[in-house]
Amino acid sequence: MSQIRNQLAQLNSSASALFILYYTAQGEPFPNNLDKLCAPNTTDFPPFHANGTEKAKLVELYRIVAYMGASLGNITRDQKTLNPRAMSLHNKLNSTADALRGLLSNVHCRLCSKYHVGHVDVAYAPDTSGKEVFQKKKLGCQLLGTYKQVINMVAQAF
């Protein structure tokens, strides 16, 4: 569990920087309209209940991390096209995705070894490939705003 806690702390400490890098790279009108364009508004984001049992929290954490990993894949793909020169953003997205993969593996291992849970049903964010440019940027910003809040709450719960 200490490794999971450490990974959550690392992700939490870097979430704000990722969010700022993202909305800054999108250009106007994003930096000056965060409340309207980047407010957490991801209704299909998996829930998390901080007062649950360890097993229940781990299952919910697994769902959140799987959802975020897939979402970061969409965002990274979109940003490589929309902002091909934003290398610091690409690097931060990739390193966050790597950290999420490691966390997912550790949560899965803990669920298997301690609770004998071998499978967790997960939901993924909708694919953004068919969306228009502004919508891709807005959805990414909303998702990262939600992630920043949720990862903070989750890190405190463990």
Residue 43 has pLDDT above 90, yes or no: no
Instruction: Give the pLDDT confidence of 8-42 residue by residue, as tens digits.
Output: 999 999 999 999 999 999 999 999 999 999 998 76
Q: How far apart are CA 118 and CA 105, in angstroms?
A: 12
Amino acid identity of residue 86, one-letter, is A
Stretch 116-144: mean pLDDT: 93
In DSSP notation, 53-95 reads: -HHHHHHHHHHHHHHHHHHHHHHHHHHHHH-TT-HHHHHHHHH
Stretch 90-96: mean pLDDT: 98
Amino acid identity of residue 88, one-letter, is S
**Three-state DSSP class for 70?**
helix
